[in-house]
Amino acid sequence: AQICYVYFHGDNFEQQIEILDHLKSKTPKSISLLVISASINCFLRRWDRAVLDCNTGLKLDKNNYELQYTKAVALRCMETPDKNDVLEAYRKFLVNAPKDHRKVPEAYYAMAQWSFSQK
């Protein structure tokens, strides 16, 4: 019901984040809420908040590949990202994600592009 309520406000990311922050305080161990919050924070270009959501969720489930992927994207988009952190986040995603996950090819391309752009 909580997730449906968040999606009901899908046309307003700011309102979704407010709702999610409230729900996360009531159910801090909900991986689903953290995944959604991290994604919306990425849409809003709040990279630091997205990474925080991902790190919080990864403390609960270190193998959650959705959070690992979102963390990699957010780290890559930060103003002063650490090259090794970005690549490590993508590697963790690739280790844990199903081999046919739709983001696997994108992860490889992002890692290659990131590596070339940082030289």
> What pLDDT shows up at residue 1?
55
Residue 73 DSSP symbol: H
- Chain position carrying tokens 């090259």: 83
Residue 109 DSSP symbol: H
pLDDT in tens, the chain (119 residues): 566 655 555 676 777 777 778 778 888 898 999 998 999 999 999 999 999 999 999 999 999 999 999 999 999 999 877 778 999 999 999 999 999 999 999 999 999 998 888 76
Give pTM, 2 decimals.
0.88
> What pLDDT shows up at residue 4?
63
Angle subtended by helix axes 47-60 and 65-77, to nearest 10:
150
